[in-house]
Structure 1
């Protein structure tokens, strides 16, 4: 027998409870005592499966109603280098990742292990008391989740600032050309004018010569080249396999309503010969 007591809203706990298939080998009794809701589990089968499924259930309660609350509190109390809106975004990233079964796997496994170890030798677990006094890895788990969420937020923030800088350069420049076609072939990029003539790379020699080789890759030079031209319109010719490339996202974010995707044209028909060019 194992009794699990929670101080949270009964209906919310039942929402989690209803997601689990406890099987026919576990009898469950519900009871309300004072301000706590209790679920008492009786095993009619193997102990290993019994403890595993109950541990998963308790772990989800801890993550959903206790971990989230502590993350919110710690971010707002300890992350003083961020604005209120930034703190909210960090918390949202943490919540999103907690709901993703592929994120924070080690942290979730730690919670599961400690819960499983505890209920294997105890027949009563009060969740809020367990979290406050028994969950030894809690501080480490919280710190790791917040750190990863801050890192992810910082990367997003840097990307936004990068896009804003590129948009600024576009806004202050006079368009030098009406239209350019961007053809993306795997790891090779080509630019064509509106007449489908290849734009010679020498066109960009002035700006490229000013760029240091350190930290500048082909994507950087290609984007800089397009920014230098500052076209009024941009048509991107790319197959579905390459549509998720970072460079495509950047061009869409910078040029916004100036960008269109080609759905098939004569220029697209010469993609294979272009790929063989050396």
Structure 2
């Protein structure tokens, strides 16, 4: 009795074998014939005529086991092939190193984002569970499956999820590239500036900050005030003002004092990237515990 035919461009036999172990444990013999037709490998599964089980129940159980294997093949094997194909088509003008980086980031993103919204339903379902459901539904009406055709015509939602992941990671790649170029420009400005302070201490409290020098004098000189007035005329935020102030001062060393690093992680990373080995984060001192309302003596 014929059970199922699986056609694919990859050799799926060894991958699917472990999903059929349950039949060996029940001493049920599943016959298979492997052949090749053009680019496709064909696996014809059949039921040994000597078994005494109900054929219909056995066939349904067999299809469910194979469906489990096919779902994993699609997620583990075909997903990377699909990403390669889409990147080659859409990013042909990128060099190999750029495509490889976007590919790696996309794969990692898809691993983290394991859930997709179901159509017309607000809750989420895992990608594998939805692919498995699609395969099982297909087997209810078919005794053969072409994996490439099934993916292209029955898993459009899955292809769209991969395309969305690629688009996001292309955007992230360009954003990261622009960020690195921007940081290089700021580093250049720092390098050509004459240092106006030996040390600048930055005291962060509740997303606010205060700058003091090595003598613990508040840095509120006319230069910073003038810069603040200039920047207030354009759309610039509090963090931008801090970065601009530090570049203007161009200190030889920066010490960061902070009560909660997670609240200011982005701005701290930017400061580190611009000033690099000039930056240290204090592990705890009286300045870390100080109140910004404390009257540091200014110029």
Does TM-score exceed 0.5, indicating one fold? yes
The separation in 2 between residues aligned to 1:192 and 1:11, in whole angstroms, is: 69
Equivalent residue runs for 1:129-278 within 5 Å: 129-137=149-157, 139-200=159-220, 202-211=222-231, 213-242=233-262, 245-270=265-290, 273-274=291-292
The separation in 1 between residues aligned to 2:155 and 2:56, in whole angstroms, is: 25
Change (3 A) 1:55 1:171: farther
Larger radius of gyration: 2
RMSD value, Cα: 4.0
TM-score computed with the length of structure 2 as normaliser: 0.70
Aligned to 2:49: none
TM-score computed with the length of structure 1 as normaliser: 0.75
Q: Which runs of 5+ in 1 are unaligned?
A: none
The separation in 2 between residues aligned to 1:39 and 1:182, in whole angstroms, is: 71
The separation in 1 between residues aligned to 2:12 and 2:190, in whole angstroms, is: 55
1:225 to partner: Cα distance: 0.7
On the 8 A contact 1:29/1:39 being kept in 2, the answer is no
Q: Which runs of 5+ in 2 are unaligned?
A: 46-54, 119-126
The separation in 2 between residues aligned to 1:105 and 1:5, in whole angstroms, is: 27
1:206 to partner: Cα distance: 2.4
2:116 to 101, 105, 109: 105
Residue 90 of structure 1: SS of its match in structure 2?
Answer: helix
Aligned to 1:128: 148
Change (3 A) 1:276 1:205: closer
Change (3 A) 1:112 1:11: closer
The separation in 2 between residues aligned to 1:12 and 1:202, in whole angstroms, is: 75
- The number of residue pairs the alignment matches comes to 265
The separation in 1 between residues aligned to 2:13 and 2:256, in whole angstroms, is: 51
On the 8 A contact 1:10/1:37 being kept in 2, the answer is no
1:188 to partner: Cα distance: 0.7
On the 8 A contact 2:207/2:264 being kept in 1, the answer is no
Equivalent residue runs for 1:75-114 within 5 Å: 75-80=87-92, 82-100=94-112, 102=113, 105-106=116-117, 108=127, 111-114=131-134
Change (3 A) 1:145 1:226: same
On the 8 A contact 2:256/2:282 being kept in 1, the answer is yes
Residue 202 of structure 2: SS of its match in structure 1?
Answer: strand
Residue 10 of structure 2: SS of its match in structure 1?
Answer: coil
2:85 to 63, 66, 73: 73
Residue 274 of structure 1: SS of its match in structure 2?
Answer: coil
Change (3 A) 1:244 1:268: closer
